[in-house]
Amino acid sequence: MTEISLESAVCHSRVYASGGRNRGTVLAMLIAICAGVLGGWGLLDASVGGAQSTAVTASEEPVDGFLIEVPRPLTSRDVERILSQLTRLSLAVRQSSPDAENASGRRVSVVLHFRQSEVDSGSGEDAGDASGRVGQQNATSLEDSLKLARAISGGDLKRIRPVAWIDAPVRGSDVLLVLASESILVSPSGSIGDATYGETSGDETTELIYQSIAKRRSLLAPEMVAALANPDIAIARVRGAEGPTRFASGEELETLRRDGLIVEETIWSDAGQPLVLNADRLRELRAATAIVDSQDDVADRLGLARLRSESVDAASEAVGVLLRINGPVRRDRVRRWQTNLSATIESGETNTWLVEIDSPGGYLAGSASMAAFLADPGPSIRSVGGYVSREARGDATLLALACRPLAMHKDATLGGSGADAIGPEDVRNQRELIALISAATGRSETLMRGLLDPSLTVHRYSNRRTGRIRYAVPSELAAEMQDGDASEWKREERIELEEGLSAQAATELGLVDETVDSLQAVAKRVGLTDVPEQLSDRGLVRWVERLGRNDGLAFGLLLLGFMMLSTEASAPGLGLPGFIAMLCFAFFFWTKFLAGTAEWAELLAFGLGIACLAIEIFVLPGFGVFGIGGLVLTVLGVVLMSQTFVIPRNSYQVNELAQGVWMAIGGMGGLVIGFLVMRAFLPQAASVAGLAMDDPPTDIDRLERVADYDHLDGQTGVAATRLRPSGKARFGEQLVAVVSDGSAIDPGQSVRVVAVHGNRIVVEAVDE
């Protein structure tokens, strides 16, 4: 036999009992209880006065309910996503029980969770205080709320049992969604009120919309709904000399006061003060079924085995991929990211993207295009969660703000100067895409532009009449508003955006949803059980990209490479140090290339520098043009490989340039270190000494020589060709190949043989 909760059945009588109207209350409750019992037996459609039954049908096997997190503020994209989830749930119920065509058939409980969000800064009674609205620059539009409210309270989703769980202050048009729900559960910190936040108060159309939606559920009396929708209406609980205690509002309340018919009066809200109904008031009005403390408590109150906590989509499991945006943003990398993400859409196996960002930016046009793609990926992708692990500077700010939800590490930075020097004209060229990202995510477009353009002066404004908060540039606000409208906005403090925002500041401004310590927390927020597999071309590429961001490794490669180069120069012929140096330089370039900071031009500069140094050491001993030019080209190549710009144009680029210069100078210090090590240890190192070639013995058998030039030792001749250092010289009638002692010798200059080693004749210039 079906069990009917007495508390649930009593909910049918709220249309009679709400507002303190005690006349006929007992009779109404008895009728409601009977209706609930008969409805549970399937003999009567258990509804009274339009309020649908909230009774829970107990079955032998407890069923699961579904939990949908309601983002606040809601965007058009959020509304479409939630409607899609509800539709799929309704179809799933229909397919499992196709004969259920009325309210007595199987229904699925869906809890709409209204929890703390970036637009909440107070709670309880203080939630209605306009002065307490810190960090609230956006609110759900009435059109978006109305679309969703009509759907969940209409007949198309009759297999869905929508329950509102108020876990935080709910304001603005979000109140309409609560009134459209079949029943309400409220946490001690929850409340509804200030329904016109973000909208024009006193609008008759707005009040009609609220009354129309509220009438479908009859959770609140019309007087209460009117006071919620119009803060200019005062409402109070009054008791006359002979009549019962009831609620009076607006003109009726003024008439009762004027005629002296009120014996006792309790004011719930004065004219001009938004009405706020906290947990105790909602229970007193019997609008809330119960006060709950946790998700398990919600499930127990609804008679559910559990609530499936797919926070974004309750109809299917979240299947995600991870995209790591590390290092500078470049054209080819943006193209690769978009191609890889598009492939997940085409496969149809992925419905969630998780994006980890640690980037200084570097390509505004590419970042804006990529951000627009992340903000609106299409209906198959239900959530794009973002996490700023260390920094999202410059144009990478757009990549972060395109994700929703967005979390930051407590020590991370959002915005500020980055790898690309962005000017006002650059931001204006991308304003259309920035507006698209703002509309899709519900974040302030002005704050986005201010984080990109340091010359933009952004102030916080509050509406003197409604208390609404917005962020704007003074000149733009003045141009947008008419004279009368502009006077309604009070300019407050300037928002400092030049150096970027900390996690706390970004959260207070409503740009970031929360601060977390790991990517794991963000993954759970979007419905994933764990951090998904990373999306990339090859595992080796991912590994090298991470190495490319390690400055310590880059410095170590340079230092070791130059040490080995110096070792090879000090003991020519060893081979092994030169090979190691070549590997170090090649790996240094490869890591920087895959990290996005090195191109072929940088490699050319670095390679030419090394070549010039080799010529100076092995071919033209001394310190001349090749030596100085080689040092300059080598330092230039290392510096350019460590950054994405040539000439610094902001503070971030200046710091990057300084780090690159010091890295190059420190790395080239390996030349000195290698030379000192060779001089100090090589002669005593037995394992190395055997690698060096000794001078040929002087008593070599003359018969084994190809030619005998000992007779030329000490002879004087004339250089037949230019000796640099090898060439030919004539001694009498004999023309032989010689090599100078290191200096360049012009043709016709006198030379003297200073040493003969087999076929190798060493000469020096002789002054005439």
Q: Is 737 strand, coil or helix? A: strand
Cα–Cα distance measured from residue 560 to residue 208, given in angstroms and rounded to the nearest whole number: 77
Give pTM, 2 decimals. 0.48
User: What pLDDT shows up at residue 484?
Assistant: 52
Whether the predicted pLDDT of 686 surpasses 50:
no
User: What pLDDT shows up at residue 13?
Assistant: 35
What average pLDDT does range 122-139 have in this prediction? Answer: 41
Cα–Cα distance measured from residue 364 to residue 296, given in angstroms and rounded to the nearest whole number: 46
Whether the predicted pLDDT of 414 surpasses 70:
yes
* Burial of residue 29 (number of CB atoms within 10 Å: 0-12, 13-18, 19+): middle
- Flag the least confident range among 38-47, 192-201, 468-477: 38-47
**Which of 342-346, 493-497, 589-593 has maximum average pLDDT?**
493-497
What average pLDDT does range 344-362 have in this prediction? Answer: 88
Question: Are the C-beta atoms of residues 404 and 343 closer than 8 Å to each other?
Answer: no
User: What pLDDT shows up at residue 441?
Assistant: 83
Whether the predicted pLDDT of 34 surpasses 80:
no
- Structural tokens at position 103: 């309210």
For 48-104, the pLDDT digits (tens) are 333 333 333 333 455 778 888 888 788 877 888 788 788 878 877 776 655 544 444
Distances (CA, A) of 64 to 59, 67, 98, 107, 178: 12, 10, 19, 11, 22
Cα–Cα distance measured from residue 493 to residue 639, given in angstroms and rounded to the nearest whole number: 41
Cα–Cα distance measured from residue 186 to residue 280, given in angstroms and rounded to the nearest whole number: 9
For 142-187, the pLDDT digits (tens) are 888 899 999 998 888 888 899 999 998 998 889 999 999 999 999 9
* Burial of residue 152 (number of CB atoms within 10 Å: 0-12, 13-18, 19+): buried
CA within 13 Å, CB half, 676: 5
Whether the predicted pLDDT of 243 surpasses 60:
yes
Using the 8-state DSSP alphabet, how is residue 126 labeled?
Answer: G
User: What pLDDT shows up at residue 544?
Assistant: 60
Question: pLDDT-derived band of residue 29, with 50, 70 and 90 as boundaries?
Answer: very low
Question: pLDDT-derived band of residue 122, with 50, 70 and 90 as boundaries?
Answer: very low
- Percentage of the chain beyond pLDDT 90 is 16
Q: What is the average pLDDT value for the chain, to the nearest integer?
A: 76
β 469-472/716-719 pair status: unpaired
Cα–Cα distance measured from residue 714 to residue 766, given in angstroms and rounded to the nearest whole number: 12
Cα–Cα distance measured from residue 229 to residue 208, given in angstroms and rounded to the nearest whole number: 9
Question: pLDDT-derived band of residue 482, with 50, 70 and 90 as boundaries?
Answer: low
Cα–Cα distance measured from residue 531 to residue 533, given in angstroms and rounded to the nearest whole number: 7
Helix (H) or strand (E) run with residue 470 in it: strand 469-472
User: What pLDDT shows up at residue 608?
Assistant: 82
If one compares 191 and 606, the residue with the highest pLDDT of the two is 191
User: What pLDDT shows up at residue 270?
Assistant: 87
Residue type, 520: Q
For 714-755, the pLDDT digits (tens) are 888 999 888 877 888 998 888 888 888 777 788 888 888 888
Q: Which residues contact 735 (CB under 8 A, 6 or more apart)?
A: 720, 728, 729
Using alpha carbons, select from 419, 395, 668 the residue that is nearest to residue 549: 419
What average pLDDT does range 223-231 have in this prediction? Answer: 88
DSSP labels, 164-222: EEE-SEE-TTHHHHHHHSSEEEE-TT-EEE-TTTTS-TT-HHHHHHHHHHHHHHT-S-H
Question: pLDDT-derived band of residue 118, with 50, 70 and 90 as boundaries?
Answer: very low
Question: Are the C-beta atoms of residues 363 and 387 closer than 8 Å to each other?
Answer: no
Phi, psi of 387 (to 5 degrees): -145, 120
Cα–Cα distance measured from residue 243 to residue 767, given in angstroms and rounded to the nearest whole number: 133
What average pLDDT does range 300-325 have in this prediction? Answer: 72
What average pLDDT does range 527-553 have in this prediction? Answer: 70
Question: Are the C-beta atoms of residues 585 and 693 closer than 8 Å to each other?
Answer: no
Q: Which residues pair with 469 in a beta bridge?
A: 462
CA within 13 Å, CB half, 85: 32
β 235-240/406-408 pair status: unpaired
